[in-house]
Chains A and B, each alone.
Chain A
Amino acid sequence: MKKMYRAASLILAGVMTASLAACGGSSGQTAATTAAPDAAEAAPETEAASEAETEAPADEEPVTLRFSWWGNDARHEKTIKVIEMYQELHPNVTIEAEYRGQSEREKIATELGSGTAADILQLNPPWMGDFVNNGDFFVDLSQYNFDVEGFDEKLINDYCIYNDTLITLPSGLNARCFLVNKTKADELGIAADMDTAWTWEDVIEIGKTVNETNPDMYFLNADKHEMVEFVMRPFIIQKTGQFLISDDYEMGFTRDDLVEALDYISRLYSSGAAAPAAEANVFLNSSWTNPDWINGDLVTTLSWTSLLEGATGDSEFEFVTTQLPMRETVLDTSTVVKPSQLYAITKTCENPDVAADFLNFLLTDVEAGKVLGDCRSVPPYKAVQDACMEAGVLSENVITATQYAQSTAGLYENTASVNEEIASILEDAVEVVSYDPSQVEAAADQALVLIEDVLSSLQ
């Protein structure tokens, strides 16, 4: 008996240590990757500090600013480089970089609520509705000498001015794009370039063939979030020609519109055109990291140009962008060009003038712009944009997709239409029909009840 117990303990212990070794390995790896940028950051900072001692004019007071943003490694490295360039020019200013991998709206919201947010914030345009309605957190930027004329006027008017006050500036020009794995598309005999104009039905037809040719492959890689953002919303807006939700929180679509959109999405799944929800939703908000996308089994994805480089940079495949899927007849193209992100200075900032000066450098300095390149998509400031084009630091795909979107731009995205709570109600509806196509009507009814409830609380 004792022997049996002993054997059992030994075996179980073996399993434990094996699983531990697995944990150890992975955590070690993450530690290494996170430590690397820190080290890279620390070294030049000390250099800058020693220069500061020799160059700093005595009359300028030392100023410390906190600048927070999110993004991938490339964006972190480039932004830190620009911070160093600014610190070299202004030795009395220290800018503390606070960067992270994901946008994390709840983190920024709690920080704003508690007054502990960084001085300069990178914000996501859809958040602004909630932030502006709930308080007065951001400095009026028009009091500083920004060359607002140098930015795209529509971008400033539609996305940067709230309650008649300029409180944000765009970090880049972001456009919806349809990204195709060209290598795989060629193999499958699908012609794809900027002249390709597919209808929504074409997407299903092509997707069906792809899946029939190779049952492991799917044409469209989209999680439920992307289904709402890039399929459902355009699908409805192209038909109605108006905002999904108007600025005074009225619904811009009917039950029939929603049923039609959900029915289309359920057919995307049932025809095998879209990757099954059970697989795609495991990589919610990070569909680029889906191994099937990385190894080319998923052929296309709908996304924003600001995410393009991070997603395709390390790939062995060649990628192209095409036109966005359209209906046969279209009231609004629903093609959107919006700021990649927005920069704002918080009211809790003690030196808003210095913060504004840094922001100005970040956005309008040509040299800084060349360093940043397309890490936040196409630069929004005309002079920087031209210089970057000339220097060839922008990716070909990002430029073509942005130019296409600018030439076909439709309605902008008002904050009500991208309300997070409504988006998650629509995502739930998409998820329901992705598992069971017979639930289209029921899912639409459920969603409408909940959306009306949310709207009534916002009105």
Chain B
Amino acid sequence: MKETKSAAVPKKKWKLRDFRGFFFILPWMIGFFTLQLYPFLASLYYSFTSFSILGTPKFVGLSNYIRLFTIDPDFKKSLMVTFEYALIEVPCKLLFALIIALILNIKIKGINAFRTLYYIPSILGGSVAVSALWRLMFMNDGILNKLLNLAGIPSVSWLGSAGTAMFVICLLQVWQFGSSMVLFLAALKQIPQDLYESASIDGAGPFTKFFYITLPMITSIVFFNLIMQTINSLQNFTSAFVITNGGPLKSTYLIGMKLYTEGFNNFKMGYACAISWVLFGVILVLTLLVFKSSDAWVYYEDGGDF
């Protein structure tokens, strides 16, 4: 059957006009090849070389990777810091986004204005200016300590001690909950109202409804947000760089900062590329694990098939 079908299709002669589709996606393709694929492959090659930005790369085999896992004490430290950061930041952000989404899901007057307001931090958040602002807010003479003093509480050295510095950079990320919130909000709107109605008739309270209807119904969006936010937080750089500069005692020395320092301060671009490939591997494995686990906890109304 298969053979007769393929035999029946005449061999297609490609004409120029058949390629016009490519013309329309050309802008994207140029961007993809030059700004994504090329750097991606080039960095893989560089990771096997000794390459300062100023000179030409020299092939050194696996020695960059070997140095990472043997001599370099900062690499392990920064990996641990990054995991710690992601473990605190991602759950806090998702929880916060979900709570705000639940609040904004109520039908009240002017709700759209509130929704817009809550999204604004996400637009501002990634910038250096806001990070600098946070540094000013949390420094020893910053507004936060002034407020604490007014309330009779002694100043806290937010950026000067390890635990609180990590808290500050996590908080900056959690504050940018907007995009997760919008997705949660959309998911909440999708939940059929009749489920809640029948639950009410059966005598379910708000908490029972939340845990037995709302949460299961939005697991697909929880899953999506979890993946995206995990990837984002593992790649984070700006907040640590601008607010704490990795300190104190490298307690906020995220892998993104380590990568930057090696590449642009120490001019070891090959080494920095090796770090980025290890980071890529870590993200890949974590994402696959989350995907694997999703069968057990994510609910799709259509069964989840593509």
Contacts and interface: CB of A to CB of B under 8 A. Distances in A.
A421 B266 contact: yes
A9 B160 contact: no
A290 to B, nearest CB: 9
Given A5-B106, A110-B264, A130 B114 contact: no
A446 B249 CA distance: 14
Interface stretch (B128-136, B274-282, B294-302): B128-136
Contact of B267 (A16, A19, A109, A292): A109
Contacts of A276: 160
A432 to B, nearest CB: 7
Contact of B52 (A130, A137, A424, A453): A130
A12 interface: yes
Interface in A229-287: 276-279, 281-282, 284
A281 to B, nearest CB: 6
B54 A112 contact: yes
B265 A16 contact: no
B163 to A, nearest CB: 12
Contact of B247 (A113, A281, A291): A281
Contacts of B106: 2, 5-6
Contacts of B100: 12
Interface string B149-178: 000000001011100000000000000000
Interface residues of B, number: 41
Interface stretch (A21-29, A39-47, A74-82): A21-29
Nearest to B161: A278
A131 interface: yes
A134 B52 contact: yes
A420 B264 CA distance: 11
B114 A13 contact: yes
Contacts, number: 103
B248 A6 contact: no
Interface string A1-22: 1100110110011001101101
19 contacts: A1-B206, A2-B106, A5-B103, A12-B103, A16-B120, A17-B117, A26-B133, A130-B52, A135-B54, A277-B248, A278-B157, A278-B248, A279-B157, A279-B160, A284-B245, A420-B266, A421-B265, A449-B71, A450-B71
Given A109-B264, A431-B249, 12 more contacts: A30-B129, A105-B265, A106-B265, A135-B55, A278-B157, A278-B161, A278-B248, A281-B245, A282-B159, A291-B141, A431-B248, A435-B249
Interface of B: 52-55, 71, 73, 100, 103-104, 106, 108, 111, 114, 117-118, 120-121, 124, 129-130, 133, 135-136, 139-141, 157, 159-161, 206, 245, 247-250, 261, 264-267
